[in-house]
Amino acid sequence: MSACVTICPVGPVNQEILAHLARHIRTRCGLECRISPEMENPRYAYNETRHQYDSKVILKHLIRCCPHDTLRFIGVTPVDLYVPILKYVFGLAQIEGQCALISLHRLHPRFYDQPPDHDLLVERVKKTAVHELGHTFGLTHCRDRRCIMYSSTRIEDTDHKQSLFCPTCFELFKWHLEHLSV
């Protein structure tokens, strides 16, 4: 297994956003990244009653499709995600596992009737992906509202926090990374 993070579009995703995300993970986390070919749109996870996609079903699919030569596998999808006990989620990850999933749907400023803002969208994507990546390394939610590991239950939480770990979470992240059996 390589010390590489694979970013996989699950449905059509702007390649520029994926490239920004790969650079951010490389810079902030010190992990090499590659972008894999697009997977099919996750119609198999669509819930007609909710008009959303079950994030757990997609995550299970990613786990089955995860390349053997990658450290972590992050799916990026344009569809609106949920878990049964919540109205929506920005992302979902296996705690101390290999796979994570994020949705662009509610990260777009236009979802909140704001004008299009590519830079804001990219910032939200980077924060959401690194947050979920942190979960795959065993990090839990942080109490520091500025830390990337602070729970984002609203888009305002995502906008308020920084795109990096607080000192404590960064030390935990480095510890988990150093103690991987690669």
Catalytically active residues are 132
* Residue 180 clears pLDDT 60, i.e. is over it: yes
Residues 6+ away with beta carbon under 8 Å from 144: 150, 166, 168, 169
Is 114's pLDDT higher than 60?
A: yes
Which DSSP state fits 39? B
CB-CB contact of 76 with 102 (8 Å) = yes
What is the model's pTM? 0.95
- Cα dihedral 70, 76, 77, 81 in deg (nearest 10): 100
1-5, 14-18, 118-122, 132-136: least confident range: 1-5
pLDDT in tens, 14-71: 999 999 999 999 998 989 999 999 999 999 999 999 999 999 999 999 999 999 899 9
Q: Name the CATH code of domain 4-178 (choices 3.40.390.10, 3.20.20.450, 3.40.50.300, 3.40.50.720).
A: 3.40.390.10
* Mean pLDDT in residue range 124-150: 97
- pLDDT band at 182; cut points 50, 70, 90: very low
**In terms of C-beta density within 10 A (0-12 exposed, 13-18 middle, 19 or more buried), how is residue 84 classed?**
exposed
Residues forming beta bridges with residue 4, ordered by sequence position: 32
